[in-house]
Amino acid sequence: MSNHKQPKPDNRNNNVERLHDMIENTQAKLKDAETSLEFANPEEQEIIKQKNERRKQSIVAMEKEMKDEMAARKKDEIKD
């Protein structure tokens, strides 16, 4: 008897919606951080700016992934 668990099958049904939510959440965090910049000391400002740069890069990557998922979804619809 083995306790080896099977991996869950790849379910792409909600990837576009999930990515959309992630993009919106990241954009909200970016906006909140921009607002907090005026109250931060110079050291904290630099940290916030660096985080926001990474957030912007993440948003671009997630948007690209969302487009890929939308194309895959469309391709699956045509195939069916």
Tell whether 60 is covered by a domain: yes
Mean pLDDT over 9-15 rounds to: 78
CA distance linking residue 25 with residue 41, whole number of Å: 25
Q: Against a cut of 0.95, is the pTM above it?
A: no
Tell whether 5 is covered by a domain: no
Distance linking the first and last C-alpha atoms of the chain: 39
Tell whether 73 is covered by a domain: yes
Count of helix runs (H) and strand runs (E) in the chain: 2, 0
Q: How many domains does the chain have?
A: 1
- For the stretch 21-69, pLDDT in tens is 999 999 999 999 999 999 999 999 999 999 999 999 999 999 999 999 9
Looking at residue 12, its pLDDT comes to 75
Tell whether 4 is covered by a domain: no
Tell whether 24 is covered by a domain: yes
Which structural domain range is residue 24 located in? 15-79
Residue 2: which pLDDT band, with cuts at 50, 70 and 90?
A: low
Q: Residue 12: which of 57, 76, 78 has the closest Cα?
A: 76
